[in-house]
Structure 1
Amino acid sequence: MGPDIGDVHEVTAGDCTDCYYIDTGMYDTPEYGAAYILDDERPAVVETGLGTNHELILEALDELGIEREDLEVIAVTHIHLDHAGGAGFLAEACPNADVYVPAAGAGLLIDPERLVAGTKAAVGEQWEYYVEPRPLDEERVVEIEDGDVVDLGDHELHVHATPGHAFHQVVFEDPANDAVFTGDAAGIWVPSTEEIRETSPPSDFHLEQCLEDCETLKSIDPDVLCYTHFGPREVGDDVDRALEEYATVLGEWVDAVETKRAELADDDAVIEHFATSSEMVDVWGEEKATAEAAMNTRGVLGYLDQRD
């Protein structure tokens, strides 16, 4: 793993305070998966990674001087295991923390059998980078919905539903930091190239709802976008432009898959085409870039089937 994986970085974008992030080394790929820590009266972890490297988050708490018994909030934007796979491990290590989970998906983290099966189908050979999630104790799950507020002290997490990427997705607005923890609602930010990439996994991806989610984020009008993939990005007055850029990327991506499907008339060939022509090989490496493109293509093909 790279030299920055596991290092604790303060979020200095905009006027953010009390906020830190860790590269969890997701899929053995630097700058792909982040978890965030808010050091407040009620300390919080936002996003938990695959579970594979959950120790890095615990070590980050130690480095920040947050006792594991003092962690009170573990919050996930949605239950896809690259966001929620570590929740059970963190809950086990931090006995006084409740796990805040979008209500629509909470049951699948309490009993994750179907979630694991669906993940294996979606990610294919990438499953080798996962660990089986630890089921959550129902008594420690706090179900959250659009409009809820999680009070941390100086900071709050305001819950906004953003179901385009997955029906169980929310984003967390932190008004004190003028920031939003975006989950996958604002796409994948690639800091090394300063570009935004699509994320359209099976089986819930829905283009029109994703575009509505971009409008939701515009209405929040944050100064900073804290991407799970990857890292904080100061957008300032350009937030509308940043979200329009993602809307354009998504629309062009869906059009490209639809056009290639009409040309090849064979979905396996469509998936193979995009998997072998990914532009992200130089950034994420061939294995991750290929797998990501294949998964995103399958998600769009499923969306096109449902739409038509």
Structure 2
Amino acid sequence: MDNITALGGDVYEIDTRMAGYSGITAGYLILGDRPCLVETGTSTSAPIVRDALASLGVGPQDLATVVVTHIHLDHAGGVGDIASFFPNAQIVVHEKGARHLADPSRLMASARMVWGDRLDTLFGELSPTEAERIVALGDTGAIDLGNGRTLNSHYSPGHAKHHVGLIDSGTGDLYVGDAAGVYLPQTGDLRPATPPPDFDLRTALDSIALFGALGPQRLLFSHYGPVDAVQETLERSAEELRIWVDLTRQAHAEGVDLDHAVAMVRERTKERYTALKSDDETAEQFELLSGAASNVAGIIHWLDRVSP
């Protein structure tokens, strides 16, 4: 299938074709004795992910574990559907996200407030998962991949209070979710993801530092794909966060409303990203993944909390 890329070490990247786009959200299959899916993508992507797993030999009875880095709908919106396609799989999530997978009603209501009618085309509906199938992680945890190989989770909030990074003992791959921002492989651009309501600068920088301290061999971005230049990329990730926060803080201090603050920050950062100078489709993809409006709103929400 043309949406599967072998990354070595029995790891396969699956393009979940979010909202019909390519290169927006990746799921990853670790194909060991106990096959494990990292990130499900959205609910509307779930059949695509199921078919990709089937083509890699993972049938309905074979998937052992599904892990999500956090419960935002582009990463975990498909959990309920994937759980029903693979009835033996345990569903692993940070403890702060577990109840929302069992009862998604509050999560879906707040998502609908943000996205309105676009919710259905972008994400679809997160279906509930039986509580007894959910494994809730604390600050650290280990997921058995079989043959002595483990996927070790590390609590990494800042982007979201229910976020974990996951490092594979077999490959040294670190699944960074959104905690290191959004990477665009076509252009090598990296941009932060700082949505409301959970963004917190200090916590986000601490999580990036933790990722560096874990000594990963490679970073696997949910948006999007593998990156070998680990330390350089994590440094860039921290730098981007600081720049967006500084610019938003300036705009906010000038007393402008949100729309004007977004326009100012967008204008002052656009030279940093090749994607915004390339074709419209790449620029649109980048904006969907790490929207300036969402980023600035999240930073302002945090500024109001820490220094009202």
Greater displacement, 109-118 / 269-278: 269-278
Q: For the residues of structure 2 that align with 1:20 and 1:102, how far apart are their CA atoms?
A: 23
Q: Which runs of 5 or more structure 2 residues have no equivalent in the other structure?
A: none
2:78 aligned partner: 86
The answer to whether the aligner puts 1:8 opposite 2:4 as a matched pair is yes
Deviation at 1:293, TM superposition (A): 1.5
1:149 aligned partner: 142
SS of the residue 1:177 aligns to: coil
Deviation at 1:286, TM superposition (A): 3.5
Task: Select which of 277, 282, 285 maps to 1:284.
Answer: 282
Against the structure 1 CA distance between its residues 43 and 286, is the aligned structure 2 distance closer, same or farther, given a 3 Å change threshold? closer
Query: What is the 5 A alignment of 1:188-203?
Result: 188-203=182-197
The answer to whether the aligner puts 1:244 opposite 2:235 as a matched pair is yes
1:32 aligned partner: 24
TM-score, normalisation: structure 2: 0.90
Against the structure 1 CA distance between its residues 124 and 298, is the aligned structure 2 distance closer, same or farther, given a 3 Å change threshold? farther
Deviation at 1:123, TM superposition (A): 4.0
Q: Which runs of 5 or more structure 1 residues have no equivalent in the other structure?
A: none
Deviation at 1:122, TM superposition (A): 3.6
Instruction: Report the AA paired with residue 130 of structure 2.
Output: D
Deviation at 1:264, TM superposition (A): 5.1
2:122 aligned partner: 129
Alignment identity in percent? 35
Greater displacement, 19-28 / 117-126: 117-126
Contact 2:64 2:89 in 1 (8 A): yes
Deviation at 1:124, TM superposition (A): 5.0
Q: For the residues of structure 2 that align with 1:133 and 1:273, how far apart are their CA atoms?
A: 35
Contact 2:19 2:44 in 1 (8 A): no
Alignment root-mean-square deviation, CA: 2.0
Q: For the residues of structure 2 that align with 1:197 and 1:88, how far apart are their CA atoms?
A: 30
Against the structure 1 CA distance between its residues 38 and 255, is the aligned structure 2 distance closer, same or farther, given a 3 Å change threshold? same
1:212-267 C-alpha deviation (Å, 9 max, x unpaired): 001100110101101101011112xxx32221111000000111111122335222
The answer to whether the aligner puts 1:170 opposite 2:164 as a matched pair is yes
Against the structure 1 CA distance between its residues 189 and 119, is the aligned structure 2 distance closer, same or farther, given a 3 Å change threshold? same
1:304 aligned partner: 303
Contact 1:21 1:34 in 2 (8 A): yes
1:95-147 C-alpha deviation (Å, 9 max, x unpaired): 11110111111001111111112223344564231211111110111111222
Deviation at 1:301, TM superposition (A): 1.0
SS of the residue 1:51 aligns to: coil
Against the structure 1 CA distance between its residues 123 and 211, is the aligned structure 2 distance closer, same or farther, given a 3 Å change threshold? farther
TM-score, normalisation: structure 1: 0.90
Q: For the residues of structure 1 that align with 2:53 and 2:3, how far apart are their CA atoms?
A: 11
Q: For the residues of structure 2 that align with 1:184 and 1:220, how far apart are their CA atoms?
A: 17
Contact 2:18 2:123 in 1 (8 A): no
